[in-house]
């Protein structure tokens, strides 16, 4: 057996093997998956804009007018007018002075973090931050202090312990967490950033189109516009396209143009993707009721799941994790749900901590109430069919679990010196290790 074969066999044995499934047609509420019609319940096309006729037309027109590729990095072959147009619209929409497009959210995070922290600096990062933030922290070579998920007391304690030097400090958090659908306590985090002289960076990937007035995100919802140094958002989820942006003041954007390596050394997003996102943004501004439809779909889904016995609370957040725990069991549940016509991908380590494998459900504004009730019934039947108790599944279960990283023991998430670990006695050190996460 070759080393690669052995590794693949091991992944299979651990229930961590992945394969790509073939979807025919756009990311609508129903798709053909490997040839079988199913309800799509795991796409981030939250507002149904990826396949909206106006968005498609805008992308097609842009291809005819400007071509498909951007040719090079914008620092080499120039910013195209369509890039500039979307940046101006996004900055105005988010209430920031300036905006900078990146090739993707992953690139925006690694580039921005690397620009804001380096050797000798300190980054404070929520333990459940997205993999692109985790990787940005690793690449930056800064010291990384991972604070407990949503725990501002732990963050404050960490800031006190590590603060006070002349070096730069950066707090970074998702606003909506991609695998749990919970929301960072941004007001308190912003207060702590101010008090301790740290910069604050917020990733709004899953909040755009879902939270805040007109779907402008969690920063807008909490009235923190202007108080967060850097806001990242992607074009690939609610805005139905591909690419990402950073909103900040003019000076910061000027600085990122000069220092963010993933901007400098990567080809700019292609005109059709940029024009598609611009059309999606216009639609969102013109018809913000889509955001209300998404919230209403989330409410319906949550109620229907609760009626099936799942431990899911009422709410308006479109991401609903059904936490199963075991990797193999999550895969079985996914398969059973597919047989009943519902596609909800099983999410396993390293995307989520070991022992918290789950189906991550994502509702879309384009789902009907009947779609969602059917899905909840199918998921309930699927769970009971393989001997799982729905009552033991849901986001609430997460809070009761101890998160222990078993899959990267030799390489914990940016280690702190051993003596530091001991000195941190008031907090459970085990929980501070973290693993890469991705959506
Ligand atoms: N941040 C978060 C919180 C995400 O969930 C994701 C994607 N799943 C990204 C960043 C990366 O964005 P993109 O898909 O545009 O690379």
pLDDT at 437 over 80: no
Q: Which residues are 342's β-sheet partners?
A: 39
Question: Residue with the nearest Cα to atom 9 of ligand 1?
Answer: 105
Question: Residue with the nearest Cα to atom 12 of ligand 1?
Answer: 105
Percent of the chain with pLDDT over 70: 90
Question: Cα(218)–Cα(97) distance, rounded to whole angstroms?
Answer: 18
Q: Which of 206, 357, 367, 433 is catalytic?
A: 206
CA trace torsion 46, 47, 48, 50 (10° rounding): -80
pLDDT at 433 over 80: no
Domain ranges of the chain: 12-41+288-400, 53-285
pTM here? 0.91
Q: How many residues does the chain have?
A: 439
Residue 351, ligand 1, Cβ within 6 A: no
* pLDDT tens, position by position, 113-143: 999 999 999 999 999 999 999 999 999 999 9
* Residues 283-308: b if buried by 16+ CB within 10 A, e if exposed: bbeeeeebbebbbbbbbbbbbbbbeb
Ligand 1 atom with the shortest distance to the CA of 109: 10
178 is catalytic: yes
Tell which CATH architecture fits domain 12-41+288-400: Alpha-Beta Complex (3.90)
Q: Which of 178, 357, 366, 434 is catalytic?
A: 178
Please tell me the CATH code under which domain 53-285 is placed. Answer: 3.40.640.10
**Ligand 1 centroid to 105 CA: how many Å?**
5
| 49 Cβ contact list (under 8 Å, min separation 6) | 55, 238, 239, 240, 280, 283, 284, 290
Ligand 1 atom with the shortest distance to the CA of 107: 16
CA atoms within 13 A on the CB side of 411: 6
Question: Cα(311)–Cα(395) distance, rounded to whole angstroms?
Answer: 7
Question: Given this model, what pLDDT does residue 403 score?
Answer: 41
Q: Which of 134, 177, 234 to mutate to test the pocket of ligand 1 (most atoms within 8 A of CB)?
A: 234
Question: Residue with the nearest Cα to atom 8 of ligand 1?
Answer: 439
> pLDDT category, 163, cuts 50, 70, 90?
confident
* pLDDT tens, position by position, 285-320: 999 999 999 999 999 999 999 999 999 999 999 999
Pairing of β 122-126 and β 143-147: parallel
Question: Residue with the nearest Cα to atom 13 of ligand 1?
Answer: 105
Q: Which of 83, 154, 237, 303 is catalytic?
A: 237
Residue 173, ligand 1, Cβ within 6 A: no
**Ligand 1 centroid to 438 CA: how many Å?**
7
165 is catalytic: no
| 295 Cβ contact list (under 8 Å, min separation 6) | 210, 316, 318
């Amino acid at each position: 057996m070759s080393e690669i074969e052995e590794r693949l066999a091991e992944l299979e044995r651990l229930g961590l093997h992945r394969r790509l499934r073939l979807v025919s047609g756009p990311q609508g509420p129903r798709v053909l998956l490997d040839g079988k019609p199913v309800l799509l319940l795991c796409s981030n096309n939250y507002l149904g804009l990826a396949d909206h006729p106006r968005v498609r037309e805008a992308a097609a027109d842009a291809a005819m007018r400007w071509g498909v590729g951007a040719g090079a990095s914008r620092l080499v072959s120039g910013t195209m007018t369509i890039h500039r147009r979307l940046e101006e619209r996004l900055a105005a929409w988010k209430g920031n002075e300036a905006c900078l497009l990146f090739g993707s959210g992953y690139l925006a995070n690694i580039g921005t973090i690397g620009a804001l922290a380096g050797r000798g600096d300190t980054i404070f990062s929520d333990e459940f931050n997205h993999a692109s933030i985790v990787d940005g922290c690793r690449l930056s070579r800064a010291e990384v202090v991972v604070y407990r998920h949503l725990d501002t007391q732990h963050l404050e304690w960490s800031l006190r312990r590590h603060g006070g030097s002349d070096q730069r400090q950066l707090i970074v958090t998702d606003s909506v967490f991609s695998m749990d659908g919970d929301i960072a306590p941004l007001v308190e985090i912003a207060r702590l950033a101010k008090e301790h002289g740290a910069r604050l960076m917020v990733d709004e990937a899953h909040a755009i189109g879902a939270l805040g007035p007109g779907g402008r995100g969690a920063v807008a919802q909490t009235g923190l516009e202007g108080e967060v140094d850097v806001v990242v958002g992607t074009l690939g989820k609610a805005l139905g396209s591909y690419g990402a942006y950073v909103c900040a003041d003019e000076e910061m954007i000027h600085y990122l143009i000069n220092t963010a390596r993933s901007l400098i050394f990567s080809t700019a997003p292609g005109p059709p993707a940029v024009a598609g996102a611009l059309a999606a943004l216009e639609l969102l501004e013109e018809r913000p009721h889509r955001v209300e439809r998404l919230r209403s779909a989330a409410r319906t889904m949550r109620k229907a799941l609760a009626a099936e016995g799942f431990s899911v609370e009422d709410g308006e957040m479109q991401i609903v994790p059904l936490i199963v725990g075991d990797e193999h069991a999550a895969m079985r549940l996914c398969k059973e749900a597919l047989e009943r016509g519902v596609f909800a991908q099983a999410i396993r380590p390293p995307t989520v901590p070991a022992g918290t494998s789950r189906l991550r459900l994502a509702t879309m504004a384009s789902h009907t109430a009947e779609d969602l009730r059917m899905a909840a019934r199918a998921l309930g039947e699927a769970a009971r069919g393989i001997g799982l108790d729905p009552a033991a599944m849901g986001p609430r279960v997460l809070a009761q679990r101890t998160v222990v990283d078993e899959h990267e023991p030799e390489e914990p998430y940016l280690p702190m010196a051993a003596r530091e670990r001991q000195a941190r006695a008031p907090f459970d050190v085990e929980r501070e290790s973290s693993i890469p996460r991705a959506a």
